[in-house]
Amino acid sequence: MKKTFFSIATVSVLALFSCKDKAKEAAGDTTTTPAAEQSTPAAENKPAANEPKTYKVTFSPDTAFLGKKKEAFVKIKNAKAVALQDPDGKSEGIEFTFDIEVTNKAAMGGYNVYLVSSESRLTLDNGNNITQETGTSVNVEPESTKDLSSVVYKIPNGTKPTTLNLFYDGTRVSVGVTLE
């Protein structure tokens, strides 16, 4: 009887301590690690010395309606801005790239929406409007969605974009742009 009680007590104590260790690991219990194993978050977030500077791009709002009957619904997405430099490290401006998702809200049997990225203008903080460097066009059938991909603007050195102006069917919509 004593051996059985002792065995049960030993197994219970082992189970109790092993469960506590698993619970601590699951709860994210932090333990002290040697200095060689610790890594600082700042070191992980620093870009490599030869990587170009990138900017966080924000559009406000990122969606808009175009057209006299508001038949074209556009959403701006996948925006990127990268600082351009020559081999000597001299700044040559910013390459600003984004995609436009176009949805034709016209009912079936209606007409297509034809959106051309070259008809957009980017207003800079110095008041100038620039046209795209490269881009494409898209023809969207009624009640469907297509992407107008890789619209690229080359922003001159020392300036930043403030507004993206989109045009379609005699209408214009302005979307705010910020780079951080």
- Mind listing the domains of the chain with CATH numbers? 54-175 (2.60.40.1240)
How confident is the model over 75-100, as a mean pLDDT?
93
pLDDT value at residue 36: 46
Instruction: List phi, psi (to 5°) of 175.
Output: -120, 130
Nearest to 116 by CA among 142, 65, 151, 143: 151
- Each residue's pLDDT tens digit, 34-69: 444 444 444 445 555 667 889 999 999 999 999 999
- pLDDT of residue 9 exceeding 80, the answer is no
CA-to-CA distance for 112 and 144, rounded, in angstroms?
Answer: 10
Q: Is the pTM of this model over 0.75?
A: no
pLDDT value at residue 89: 83
Peptide bond between residue 61 and the one before it cis (omega within 30 degrees of 0): yes
pLDDT value at residue 42: 47
